[in-house]
Chains A and B, each alone.
Chain A
Amino acid sequence: DAKTTQPNSMESNEEEPVHLPCNHSTISGTDYIHWYRQLPSQGPEYVIHGLTSNVNNRMASLAIAEDRKSSTLILHRATLRDAAVYYCILRDNSGYALNFGKGTSLLVTP
């Protein structure tokens, strides 16, 4: 599986936008970019995914570089509830398992 690289941790102020980066220089043409997050004492939850174009949903936006070697998860207004570990995962249609890396631990301060 192609690997992703994320910063170990990031910090944000409440109600500020947060940009969580992910590098995936060996991504293949069939890999989708997925983001999951894990809040404290909970199982992971799906956030967003995309292939080539930028994507928006009620939780976040996903900006994908033109060469697809990197992407950024954008939380438009961080809340305390967004404090979690965020995982950037590459998946293709033949890979049913989620290959979690270390993720980025996001701290949100009031």
Chain B
Amino acid sequence: KAGVTQTPRYLIKTRGQQVTLSCSPISGHRSVSWYQQTPGQGLQFLFEYFSETQRNKGNFPGRFSGRQFSNSRSEMNVSTLELGDSALYLCASSRGDVGTDTQYFGPGTRLTVL
């Protein structure tokens, strides 16, 4: 069974630009969650999508948004990039049936904002 894939793996942008990251979940998984990891704040939950609907949201500004497609693939978008958005962005997929389902993480996208 193929794991969670994320593209691109590395990205360099400048302040003020926007960026779109992509996540393909494990086949059959309907939930996709996004996390931001920085040295200072650690791993923080961004949002979770289940069957194309945002089901949960973390405490991030509206510049961070996401969506999920009918095939469960998900994208997240960050607009008006700031230096502090430099981070590893991780996506995780799960069946999504219950809150305690195991989450399977991808390798992440390393975003650098200059």
Interface residues of A (CB under 8 A from B): 32, 34, 38, 42-46, 49, 87, 91-103
Asked if B92 contacts A96 (CB within 8 A), the reply is no
B89-100 interface code vs A (CB 8 A; 1 in, 0 out): 010101010111
Contacts of A34 in B (CB 8 A): 100
Cβ A97 vs Cβ B33 within 8 A: yes
Report how many residues on chain B are interfacial, defined by Cβ distance under 8 Å. 28
A-binding segment of B14-22, B67-75, B76-84, B103-111: B103-111
B42-A98 in contact (CB<8A): no
Does residue B43 face the partner (Cβ distance < 8 Å to A)? yes
A93 B100 Cβ-Cβ under 8 A: yes
Interface residues of chain B, those whose CB is within 8 Å of chain A, are 4, 31, 33, 35, 42-45, 48, 50, 55-56, 58, 90, 92, 94, 96, 98-108
A42 touches B107 (CB 8 A): yes
Query: With A42-B107, A43-B90, A45-B105 in contact, is A98–B45 under 8 Å at CB?
Result: yes
Residue of B nearest to A34 (CB): B100
Query: Beyond A96-B48, A97-B45, A97-B58, is A44–B105 a contact (Cβ under 8 Å)?
Result: yes
